[in-house]
Amino acid sequence: MKKVRVELQLSLIRYSNNQTGEISLVMEDDANVHDVLEFFNLVHGEVGVVLINGKLAAEDQELPDNATVILYPVFGGG
């Protein structure tokens, strides 16, 4: 098992159980970003950027122990 700290940003905070959007999880040893998204029941395409320990991450990237995962929603500009 590994510990992971998740930070939900902006509109994704509504998926957390608190106002800060920060949640600590205990995940399986082979857990990846997709498992985190499933934990929160995030809709496909709702997350635009995923950072693991400050670096851009793909959905299939495995999570290191004591990682900080930051999830940002899809956003656009004009």
Domain ranges of the chain: 2-73
| Contact assessment for residue 74 and residue 47, using Cβ atoms and an 8 Å cutoff | yes
Which positions of the chain have pLDDT values less than 70? 78
Q: What is the predicted pLDDT for the residue at 75?
A: 85
The pLDDT value recorded for residue 76 is 77
Q: What pTM was estimated for this model as a whole?
A: 0.93
Q: What CATH topology corresponds to 2-73?
A: Ubiquitin-like (UB roll) (3.10.20)
Listed in sequence order, the residues at least 6 apart from 15 whose beta carbon sits closer than 8 Å to its beta carbon are 8, 40, 41, 42
Amino acid identity for residue 29 in this structure: D
Residue 44 is predicted with a pLDDT of 77
